[in-house]
Structure 1
């Protein structure tokens, strides 16, 4: 057997699949982190243990088993971001391998369809949030579980050994019940087992009536599990807790006819996204910029994967009739179509559309990925003419899928970098905080974050495993209308979400603006009352700044497996450290940091970022240097004069008069006047 035959049609295929997934994800894997609900589970578990996960599960209308599963996941992956990324991708890989084994068992002569559909399935595009490794890990874990259950059912039917058949059926049933109890994503896909059983019975060459009878007989235990769960989930559980995933299909329709119209409308949307939307979004021209290195790399790797698959298939085409239009390929196509349509139903039932109109709705197409992949591979055999054409199209689709995943990973890589800028600049400026301290910020911290995610991240940054209720640290986004009444009236800052509960004295706050591409993180003070670069609303919060909440001399370190051991020392490192040194009265360090920054080629991003150095010079009595740095910073005097005027007034307030001080003021007169 030739190498190409071994790695595609033989038992070496899992190694080929692993290679393709490594090429698709491995390069960027160390540079992505945690996002959105990842922080909820991560900070909850790390700070509050299993009880926090249980509280989250109940709040999220999930069965209790989800909390247990997630706690087991944490015991395996820990809190390491790269471990979680690998762990989540492992389930996708395992699902691909099991899919390959299942199709080979049911249709032994269609090994090429089994292989190509498994590749497409494992790197399938459209879903943009693979990087949310904790949030969606349970969903990816369920895929190999339900496919494994299908495989065991088929194996049980086809074995002649009764001693093996009963255990295989029992394990298959346990896996079916288990995956249903984790989440409802694959609820309707469970019904596809009827088709699996039907095709598994084919080698027995039974009469149609007898085959139907056996199919029903084998399906009955699984139908019992299905309806038992269905009754519990939709009739008992909603009476116990609030159900955030109600069956909207029953509430938004009037009569059977309108319900049918509703389902047809949603089905058209799902099918459209499956047939066209998936591939259009994968090569969206708006995101196709060959001047970017990431796009160049995505094109190169996608092209190489496509060429690899094309060459393997091309070498095999003479030895074996690939993708033949046979009864087997047609059956796979029908099974794939059924799996895709059935996979649409959970999203339709709760009235969710898998489109870009809502950033995270594409997850409702995940249950149909397997069916779509099967349909595509089988359609090449049943609908296209010519081996070369079939090979070209399938190889191209695999290349496009790889391209999409690499491009998509880059957006999360950039988002994680934005988070890290916040995390480390905050840590450099505020080494530690007393418990029950609120961080008042001016915006969502980064892309794929917000609300509870920002708070969960800050909780994990400063938390010391003292529990999640009440939550001792939290980030409050003050860019909207929330929390302003509490601040202005001196009321407690109470915020309850997921498993978190905050109840903080609004006086126990630190006020910051998050870092941007053109500025560092700023801990605001009196000088910023005239800062032209911040939102006027943030200036209202400056009187509530309470630096006494900062523990300057704490040796507390953020968990390195999450945040890393350090971040690059650019200008913002020197700025934050200098501002910290000023608070500590360590003016010698301020001068050293400035000299190091200049020596390393760094300079201020915004004029106001020279403030700690000006302060350090002034407070140490080096007024000439303070004046010179003020002049150097005045590159936009038309908008900064008032800021520096206010800064020097504060410096004069806090220092004693001297000839040097007067001379310095005289020197900067031109930059503190309009």
Structure 2
């Protein structure tokens, strides 16, 4: 072991060792599942715009809130088009680059603290409070700007160390600082520059005035850029999305607002530091997570911890410093860490936005990562009197974070699968939809997609050749829209939905209500077939939704499929395929087709995920007087957990009253046998 440690003892090899360590823990945290990840959340509106108008459409599409961000999306979509792997690899590379840039900023300011810089970079790399790395297309933009900011700071510090000012370095650094115009999330971190310059330059200047002059000379160009940004953002562009509620509240009730603010600051500090890591120690249940995934969770967590222990043992300890200067970095790290926390929090607090370690508000934690990493360096240094205890702490934190990120990425992987299944099932149940249709739902069983997200693939499926800013379709979560863009769940209500540069105009007279709760199949809800009797445990909102469904909006031809540029090819026929196509056949009165589909599904050993999925086959077999199969299905409904006997009885009662249904007496016998009310 001593020979190995001696081999890595040189400064160059120690640096490469840090690079390797950062790459390993980044891969364990974010890279393992990259091939299985897809598109999420706001990725889809970007892809929809690109499909509809090409890269040239982004300036207008993004003009409402981030007019200077079009360059990023024009570049990435032109490179990767509809290939999720490309975006995920780029997002991974940008995340890794941010870690290396942070490491060198730390080394530049505190050059003698190589090992502590590596530990801080490790915490920066795998911070477990930010869960949205899998939303790759969108966060390629965020990390591009973040990297530009970090590069700008690093080049500024490198220039400050030089005896002669280097203009090429400065120009690149100034350009990097302009990134805040593209996205504002990291803009307030700009105010860290003078503090870092103070720490870096103070040993070189004995005269206080000369020190201040040198700092101002270096900082002034960045201050001017930041001032120009703030003037543009506050007074010209203003606040198109989130209003500065804190400032508005301060004008009317300053005392109350200040009390609220000062009570929130420590709470948010606890959230982004302690809570973020406490949550990462959560152990997944095998029953929820799956056996193989649980084994892999433990393997990755152990690998993260053990490999970190190996790298830490190979990294030489920082050289001892004089007692007089030993405490100096501790105070500096404390001040820098807390100042970074306040800078990152200022945007959140002024806009009165939530800060939580859960989707979707965990996105706000991204700007807090540098501050958390510096505070982690402080804690490591305090514990480092016992190298074993300090290294053990780091290994535990990294191991837990690696496991938490794997669990998070598994959640995204499964949501991507559920989302694709949703649209394939829609294509089977609703091969075509009349233009102007609103697909309405609530509690839709996908976690990382808003209704805005789903509106994009909905239009790409049913209107793939559209080149208009008028949307043909919209997906609405009524539990989200009700009371704002949707005034009421009743007939005749106009719906106008802006979608950045697109618009949808329709009404509640053209609605198809759906229920999707995987692994159960998609259900088109309506008053007749899939109502609150057939589908037990519907919410009040869902009951109101189904009353609006107009089944005539669903057409059998032409048959549309999800955009295969984005979605995987049609999955293997399973139960949901047979259910959806049989449900459509029942709607169209093709009972022979529905029965044939049911027989094929049963012959292949498929069975419903929810017992209500038997109902199209029940009705079709009754209409064809297949009594043996009818009784088999009835037994399945009666033996299922839940109140599915109500759906059975409702179907029997409804059919017994219809003139075109044969053997009404037989249905009456069944109702008596099954104790139907």
TM-score bracket for this pair, using the shorter chain length? 0.7 to 0.9
How far did residue 49 of structure 1 move?
A: 4.9
What residue in structure 2 maps to residue 104 of structure 1? Answer: 107
TM-score (norm 1): 0.85
How far did residue 558 of structure 1 move?
A: 1.5
Q: Take 1:159 and 1:80, find their aligned partners in 2: how far apart are those partners?
A: 44
What residue in structure 2 maps to residue 649 of structure 1? Answer: 656
Q: Is contact 2:115-2:315 (8 Å) kept?
A: no
Q: Is contact 1:37-1:135 (8 Å) kept?
A: yes
Q: Is contact 1:604-1:610 (8 Å) kept?
A: yes
Q: Take 1:297 and 1:396, find their aligned partners in 2: how far apart are those partners?
A: 17
Between the two proteins, the alignment pairs up a number of residues equal to 658
CA gap of 1:190–1:612, structure 2 versus 1, over 3 A, is same
Q: Within 5 A, what are the aligned runs for 1:508-519?
A: 508-518=510-520
What residue in structure 1 maps to residue 607 of structure 2? Answer: 603
What residue in structure 2 maps to residue 342 of structure 1? Answer: 343
Structure 1 residue runs of 5 or longer lacking an equivalent are: none
Q: The residue matched to 1:494 in structure 2 has which SS?
A: strand
How far did residue 106 of structure 1 move?
A: 3.7
How far did residue 191 of structure 1 move?
A: 1.5
CA gap of 1:75–1:246, structure 2 versus 1, over 3 A, is farther
Give the counterpart of 2:597 among 577, 593, 600.
593
Q: Per-residue displacement from partner, 1:398-455 (whole Å, max 9, x unpaired)?
A: 2222122122223333433432332222122112323222223354342244443343
What residue in structure 1 maps to residue 246 of structure 2? Answer: 248
Q: Is contact 2:434-2:553 (8 Å) kept?
A: yes
TM-score (norm 2): 0.84
Residue 567 in structure 1 maps to residue 571 in structure 2: yes
What residue in structure 2 maps to residue 313 of structure 1? Answer: 312
Q: Per-residue displacement from partner, 1:565-603 (whole Å, max 9, x unpaired)?
A: 133543222211223344566666545533442233222
What residue in structure 1 maps to residue 264 of structure 2? Answer: 266
Q: The residue matched to 2:349 in structure 1 has which SS?
A: helix
Q: Is contact 2:594-2:620 (8 Å) kept?
A: yes
Q: Take 2:637 and 2:361, find their aligned partners in 1: how far apart are those partners?
A: 48
Q: Is contact 1:347-1:365 (8 Å) kept?
A: no
Q: Take 2:32 and 2:171, find their aligned partners in 1: how far apart are those partners?
A: 41
Q: The residue matched to 1:531 in structure 2 has which SS?
A: coil
Q: Take 1:375 and 1:420, find their aligned partners in 2: how far apart are those partners?
A: 42
How far did residue 72 of structure 1 move?
A: 2.8
Give the counterpart of 2:34 among 29, 35, 53.
29
How far did residue 396 of structure 1 move?
A: 1.8
Q: Per-residue displacement from partner, 1:530-566 (whole Å, max 9, x unpaired)?
A: 7332547756666754444334233533223433213
Q: The residue matched to 2:431 in structure 1 has which SS?
A: coil
What residue in structure 1 maps to residue 232 of structure 2? Answer: 232
The two structures, once aligned, show a CA RMSD in angstroms of 3.8
What residue in structure 2 maps to residue 90 of structure 1? Answer: 93
Q: Within 5 A, what are the aligned runs for 1:160-175?
A: 165-175=166-176
Residue 446 in structure 1 maps to residue 446 in structure 2: yes
Q: Within 5 A, what are the aligned runs for 1:403-414?
A: 403-414=403-414
Q: Is contact 1:110-1:329 (8 Å) kept?
A: no
Residue 129 in structure 1 maps to residue 96 in structure 2: no
How far did residue 246 of structure 1 move?
A: 2.1
What residue in structure 2 maps to residue 502 of structure 1? Answer: 504
Q: Per-residue displacement from partner, 1:24-75 (whole Å, max 9, x unpaired)?
A: 123333444444433443434434556875565444xx34102343333322
CA gap of 1:592–1:143, structure 2 versus 1, over 3 A, is same
What residue in structure 1 maps to residue 562 of structure 2? Answer: 558
What residue in structure 2 maps to residue 79 of structure 1? Answer: 82
What residue in structure 2 maps to residue 352 of structure 1? Answer: 353
Residue 148 in structure 1 maps to residue 151 in structure 2: yes
How far did residue 322 of structure 1 move?
A: 12
What residue in structure 2 maps to residue 212 of structure 1? Answer: 212
Q: Take 1:479 and 1:380, find their aligned partners in 2: how far apart are those partners?
A: 46
CA gap of 1:666–1:86, structure 2 versus 1, over 3 A, is same
Q: Take 1:257 and 1:476, find their aligned partners in 2: how far apart are those partners?
A: 40
Residue 114 in structure 1 maps to residue 120 in structure 2: no
Give the counterpart of 1:493 among 476, 495, 506.
495
How far did residue 300 of structure 1 move?
A: 3.1
What residue in structure 2 maps to residue 639 of structure 1? Answer: 646
